[in-house]
Structure 1
Amino acid sequence: MKFRRRSEKTEPAVAEPVDADEPAVVDGPFDIDDLPDDDVQRVDLGSLLIAPEEGRELRLQVDESSQAVQAVLLAGADGALELRAFAAPRNGDLWTEVRPQLAADLARRGGTATEREGRFGTELVCELSVQTPEGRAASQASRIIGINGPRWMLRGTFLGRPATDPESAAEWEESLTRVVIRRGDHAMPVGDPLPVVLPDSARRTTPGES
């Protein structure tokens, strides 16, 4: 799916007067250069600016050995949204290239990944057998969404109810549309993760922590 901007309304059959002062409605997620004037005080994490969500906690998954941030997580009572941003070619479609790689990696780990069309374009619906902290086997469902932007790709992974329940997913998808990406002007290899800055107030988590 390409990063895009569009009005919520289709073009009318008969031209009507348009109020020039009325702002256009823009879908997100947004590039920093298209930051909407929505009065939202986002948490600045460097390459990702995240809107606070009532009832959800902002966490950063940090690799213990390197102390590098691996992902940003919005966690709630019914699930979570994991966010990762990557460098991408200016006019490329990195999500189309990465999608089969993600599916193959999941298959190597004994899981399944099925493509389907969703709100943001082609997404992956995944299932993976995992072990609970108590040592029991369980099945973990997830939905992976990729959105191509100007020289970046945002990958969002829905976990818990948002991965399986359409009613719950709608609210979480709105959270994804409020994300802002700051790519920066520096050169980076395609596919490299965009750096995330750790604020003092953020909670650090290790991968796999609930």
Structure 2
Amino acid sequence: MKFRRKSTPDSADISAEETATSAAEPDEGAVAEPAVGPFDADDLPEGGPHHVDLGSLLVPPMPGRDLRLQVNEKTGEVQAVLLAGPDGALEIRAFAAPRNGDLWGEVRPQIAADMTRRGGTATEREGHFGPELVCQMPVRGADGATGTQASRIIGVNGPRWLLRATFMGRPATETEIPQDWIDTVTAIAVRRGDGPMPVGEPLPVVMPESARRVDPPADS
């Protein structure tokens, strides 16, 4: 845990011995900086907000955001988690990664190449979470009209996992990611699990019991 020490006017008169002691022992007035994620599930701070347990992803409910699960209709498997609000949306996925290395650095060029192959563009730049991709993809609406869909893709390397987050709407088009959307990402936790998995394999997302439960019909 990091502490921010308050400066004192007579700090220049403190002896070397006093300086060493004060460096080893934080001041009573020291302020603990809040932990910032995304977190590994084992490192999730105690006393924080409640999280919805989706197996590999622990997602805190956010005011004004709908938590949705993208489900493969054929297999019934959850493919991604979506947080949708009035100004945009955030799609999150987690993948198995090696213990050491930079999986985001490896897959980023692959994502950019796939965007280009599909007729879009992907521009890499430095953002709040490090290197990110700002993408433009041509789309056709239900009425046949064509347009462009903007997205911003970030990646966070964790201990044996990679969290990939894709912003759409306002968070994708503004120069900087709005702070409320940054706060959404930094509150997420990833549960990798102990079992062996191929690098790049999606970590399983589990639909909560409350969403799967079906109440029996009332007796007539």
Give the Cα separation in 2 of the matches to 1:8 and 1:102. Answer: 39
Partners of 1:64 and 1:137 in 2: how far apart? 27
Deviations 1:66-106 (A, max 9, x none): 11111100001110000000000001110000000000000
Which residue matches 2:92? 83
**Corresponding residue to 2:114 among 99, 105, 108:** 105
Moved more, 22-31 or 71-80: 22-31
Q: How many pairs align?
A: 198
Equivalent position of 2:59 in the other structure = 50
Match of 2:198 in 1: 189
Q: Which has the higher helix share?
A: 2
The answer to whether residue 79 in structure 2 is matched with residue 70 in structure 1 is yes
Identity of aligned residues (%): 60
Shift of residue 170, structure 1, vs aligned partner: 2.0
Deviation at 1:131, TM superposition (A): 1.3
**Per-residue CA distance 1:123-157 (angstroms, 9 max, x = gap):** 00000001122221110000000000000000000
Q: Which of the numbers 109, 129, 135 marks the counterpart of 1:126?
A: 135
Cα distance change, pair 11–71 in 1 and its aligned pair in 2 (3 A): farther
Find the aligned partners of 1:162 and 1:77 in 2 and give their Cα distance.
11
**C-alpha displacement at 1:25, in angstroms?**
2.5
TM-score by length of 1: 0.86
Task: Identify unmatched segments of 5+ residues in structure 1.
Answer: 1-5, 204-210
- Residue 32 (str. 1) matches residue 44 (str. 2): no
RMSD: 2.6
Greater shift, 162-171 or 139-148, is seen at: 162-171
Aligned CA distance change for structure 1 residues 30 and 130 (closer, same or farther; 3 Å): same
- Equivalents in 1 of 2:27, 2:141: separation in Å? 56
C-alpha change, 1:116 and 1:136, in structure 2 (3 Å) is: same
Counterpart selection for 1:18 from 26, 33, 36: 26
State whether residues 3 and 31 of structure 2, in contact with CA within 8 Å, keep that contact through their aligned partners in structure 1.
Answer: no
After TM superposition, the score normalised by the length of structure 2 is: 0.82
Matched, 1:143 2:152: yes
- Conservation of the 8 A alpha-carbon contact between 1:129 and 1:139: yes
Residue matched to 1:160: 169
Q: Partner of 2:179: helix, strand, or coil?
A: helix
Greater gyration radius: 2
Distance in 2, Cα, partners of 1:8 & 1:78: 36
Secondary structure, in 3 states, of the residue corresponding to 1:37? coil
Q: For 1:167 and 1:122, how far apart are their aligned partners in 2?
A: 13
- Amino acid of the residue matched to residue 42 of structure 2? D
CA–CA distance in structure 2, aligned partners of residues 9 and 174 of structure 1: 21
Q: CA deviation at 1:38?
A: 3.7
Q: What residue ranges of structure 2 are gaps of 5+ in the alignment?
A: 12-18, 213-220
1:28 Cα offset (Å): 0.6
Higher relative contact order (CA 8 A, sep 6+): 1
